[in-house]
Amino acid sequence: MSDRTEPTAAQLADWDTRFKSVTWTLLPNPPLAPRAQNAMDEVLLEEMAAGRRGPHVRFWNWQSKAVIIGRFQSVKNEVNQDAAAEAGITISRRMTGGGAMLVEPEGAITYTIAAPESLVAGMSFAESYQFFDSWVLGALRELGVDAWYVPLNDITSSGGKVGGAAQARKHGIALHHTTCAYSMAPGILTSILRIGKEKLSDKGVTSADKRVGPLRQQTDLDRDVIINHMIEYFRSRYGLQSDNFRAEEMIRLDQLVTEKYDTPEWVYALP
Amino acid sequence: MHGEYKTPGGKLVVVDFDVVDGRFKNMVISGDFFLYPEEELAPLTNALEGVDIELDDESFTERIRMDLHPETELMGTSPEGIVIAVRRALAGDEA
């Protein structure tokens, strides 16, 4: 477990000011196919770049099980493809870097927070990761999870690793998404993901399973209760107005799934 | 050939390549690192393509560094980390 460091009071005050400097929208969370969820981030990033959408928070509902691999990961190095196919697990490549995540419909809490890059102007990449997840850490602590940030992009806790984040920076937009483990069948991680010795070399453990601390195990709360608490935590501090996807965004989503996220050229871009 | 290196406290970088006539061919660089902008993966991957495998580490590192745009952000690994993975692959250490 890495050393625990906390943001300074000055940092927290600065983050607070930044969060309050823009108007936030909460988007709905209909269940979508895994590849459509990944495509939705890109649709909304495009819409922001075009000035048609503002800063937003979006929770994801997964329609089916999936391994979401990072932009630069090789499928064969990360995924046991036979086991994944047998278990009905889709492989989906996201637009951001970072590591593979195994998600199940009720097993993960995933969200995106996106804003103009100016919101994190002057911050290091590392600080911006902490900034964008700071409200989630606050909400989790209120629920009794002793959670903290491990740079660059991990949320951990006294009960084990909770989640990981990744960011896209494109067209002047910072899009940050995070997946937290809510519940996980024992052994599923190691049967589907190929986690070699080298990857665990600096973790002080020999099994990826032992590193994870799913939130249900730590709180005994329903997934929806945790999500609602995160939303209310954000809303009460920074404001959050509910909005819907526009028809044009849903059309673009279908298009982007067909043209990119569903294609072997993208999924197996690094075979 | 296949080699991996995880920067302590950082990310994993994986290299896969062939050696043809003493030179790197079909180099693929992958891993859970972060790279901005993402389009820089191609120059990163091409940096060692066709390079003599007998060159020293500094030469490999320099090639990679030269091929990256100065404003590229590579996080979690580094040209040095990539070269360690390459060395491991050449040594047949699959670790």
In chain A the domains, ranked by start, together with CATH numbers, are 23-262 (3.30.930.10)
A263, pLDDT greater than 50: yes
Cβ–Cβ of B38/A95 closer than 8 Å? yes
Beta bridge partners, A156, equal A148, A161
User: What is the sign of the dihedral through the CA atoms of A134, A136, A140 and A145?
Assistant: negative
Partners of residue B16 in chain A, C-beta under 8 Å: 74
The pLDDT assigned to A1 comes to 47
B77: nearest CA in chain A? A98
The pLDDT assigned to A73 comes to 97
> Which of A117, A153, A198 to substitute to test the interface with B, most B CBs within 10 Å?
A198
Whether ipTM exceeds 0.90: yes
> What DSSP character marks residue A2?
P
Q: For residues A65-81, give the mean pLDDT.
A: 96
The pLDDT assigned to A81 comes to 97
What is d(CA B74, CA A57) in angstroms, rounded to the nearest whole number?
Answer: 27
Amino acid at A90: T
A166: nearest CA in chain B? B34
Per DSSP, helices labelled H in chain A are 9-20, 34-49, 75-78, 81-86, 125-142, 188-192, 215-219, 223-238, 247-256, 264-267
- pLDDT tens digit string along A117-172? 999 999 999 999 999 999 999 999 999 999 999 999 999 999 999 999 999 999 99
- pLDDT tens digit string along B11-36? 999 999 999 999 999 999 999 999 99
Question: Which CATH number does the domain housing residue B63 bear?
Answer: 3.30.390.50
A211-236 burial code (b ≥16 CB/10 A, e <16)? bbbbbbebbebebeebbebbbebbbe
Q: Which residues contact A261 (CB under 8 A, 6 or more apart)?
A: A35, A36, A38, A39, A92, A93, A267
A2, pLDDT greater than 80: no
- pLDDT tens digit string along A95-120? 999 999 999 999 999 999 999 999 99
Q: At what angle do helices A125-142 and A9-20 cross, to 10 degrees?
A: 90
Percentage of chain A surpassing pLDDT 70? 96
The pLDDT assigned to A125 comes to 94
- Domain holding B64, by residue range, is 2-90
Q: Is residue B80 part of a domain?
A: yes
Q: Is residue B95 part of a domain?
A: no
- pLDDT tens digit string along A203-248? 765 556 668 899 999 999 999 999 999 999 999 999 999 999 999 9
Q: Is residue B55 part of a domain?
A: yes
C-alpha atoms less than 13 angstroms from C-alpha of A44 in its C-beta half-sphere: 29
Chain A within 8 Å of B48 (Cβ-Cβ)?
no
> What DSSP character marks residue A241?
E
Provide the pairing of β-strand B73-75 with B34-36: antiparallel
Q: Is residue B12 part of a domain?
A: yes
Provide the pairing of β-strand A147-150 with A154-157: antiparallel
- The total domain count for chain B is 1
What is d(CA A99, CA A152) in angstroms, rounded to the nearest whole number?
Answer: 12
* pLDDT < 70 stretches in chain B: 93-95
CA dist list (Å): A186 to A189, A200, A212, A219:
8, 18, 10, 18
Chain B within 8 Å of A197 (Cβ-Cβ)?
yes
